[in-house]
Structure 1
Amino acid sequence: MASTKATSKTYTLNTGAKIPAIGLGTWQSKPHEVEKAVEIALRRGYRHIDTALAYGNEEEVGRGIKNSGVPREEIWLTTKLDNPWHKRVQEGIDSSLKSLGTDYVDLYLIHWPSSTDPSDLKKHHPDWDYIKTWQEMQKLPATGKVRNIGVSNFGITHLEKLLNDPSCKIVPAVNQIEIHPNNPSPKLVEYNTSKGIHSTGYSCLGSTNSPLYSNETLLTLAKAKGKTPQQVLLAWGIQKGWSVIPKSVNKERIETNFELDGWDLTEDELKKLDSMPERFKVCGDAWLPVKVFFGDDE
């Protein structure tokens, strides 16, 4: 069972680095809202901020960090390499660092296993795939610009191919994937763990207008605990063993999401959430030139 100090809990990665169990996600946050959200989160006690080049908000994230007054070295900062930049990994990280206004990031992820042609985003590079991208990613820790490298939206199929390739000298530290009770992906999480890869759950609250918030199992459990459904979902993820990055730009929700200390879900309560039969994904792959979700990770 997880500690009752969830907000100060960390997970040790295969590099020895410690990633905070809870962070602030910034995907789908509207322009001009992220800067303040990051500042609020850091002032409240968050020490983990997640962004990506593709989100278009790295500059705002950087300003929010600066405005918070929290020293950079106390913050775990994650960003991601966008699909059209797979052939330009060094340029990709340099672009992100400039936008963020920092000399390094704590974690740099391949955002998707899709090497998209920048001249036509509906096409995949015929001569380039994520194996070659990882070869370039592996050069980054030695530069000091990146402390840890990992992947995002990689399934077992992708990881098997990557880890079995002779050029793979560094096992990804993290695989960031969609995880909530209606998309638990137990086989993928178990596979990550078996390979020493930490799982981070995005869309851990099921995203905006989620079907989760009409789920009687979740609502009844939250009411009985005297907690919000969001708090219950975050506690479920942390107690199951992965880090969570709930997204919000609302001050009250940002602060409430961080109120996870002093209580736990019981084993029975965890099992109730585990047994919710409904399934949905927030993030699909129809917009990509290649299919990345195969439905085989459940």
Structure 2
Amino acid sequence: MDLRQIHYFVAACEEGSLSAAAVRLNCTASGVSQQMTALEARLGASLFKRTRRGVTPTPVGRRFYDRCLVVLKAVSEAEIELEDFAAGLSGSVSAGFAPGLAKSILPQALARFTREFPRVDVEIASGPADSLVSGTASAALNFYVGQYREAQIGLSAIPIGQFPVALISGSRRGFVPMKPIRLDKVAPLKLSVPSATHSLRPKIEAAIRNGEIAVDRTISIASLSAGLEFLSQTDWSSILPYWIGLKELSNERLTVNPIADSTLRVEVALIHPTRQPLSRPAQVLYDYFEQELRRSEAEWARVMDDCVKS
């Protein structure tokens, strides 16, 4: 058995198709098929259940897949160590971030990273969660930080935390800035809700159904920047992660209010390919990001505390 067969097998498991695995590996489907047949013959076991729609690992295949991940991870870690030893912190890193995190948290972390490590090339992506998760699964991105709704074979999801949310409204709505609000005690809201892939969406919809949030009308705007601009020109509101509210505190056209007695929380995770641990540059960038996230969380708590005291 050679390492190429392991790569082919893992790709076929994760893609669910020999042809899709071939596209990912930039080789031919017949070549992947031949290697898988040879691998099964060598092991004396059927690794895949083949159907017209593709392939799925058998119980034996799934167990072998888990073992292969250990092998690929060990090889990747060895390569990373050798690269770091030979060249110091250099190379490249590509990462995806949910739009709110990219707007509010990432810039400070990225400024520090690029200042301290000028030999590392950086590529940052932001956009819909499905697109960023897909990019991470294909290894186009080293990692993704954001909402993650469903487990996916080939990806590891490490929870970062559950974070508070805030009500952000156009100033025409008339709320007192930073005064805690109970959503079940205010007049019906004209509410802009997050996109369907955002982890807050189902929680907000459940709260509306249960009468915990009274709404007059709803709208969904996929673009964060467009949504905030819409709020600033109207009396509409939106329930968004605290880091967006913290960033907009100085915006006179928007009003930010903590939500009192709320179970609404936004869940964030670090997503990366299971077969490939974070490279040293990727790990450092993520560490700087998480440090900035924790700093902003403490700043939000301080601002809320100051408002209560005043």
TM-score in same-fold range (> 0.5):
no
Q: Which has the higher helix share?
A: 2
Rg comparison, structure with higher value? 2
| TM-score (structure 2 length as normaliser) | 0.23
Q: Which has the higher strand share?
A: 2
| TM-score (structure 1 length as normaliser) | 0.24
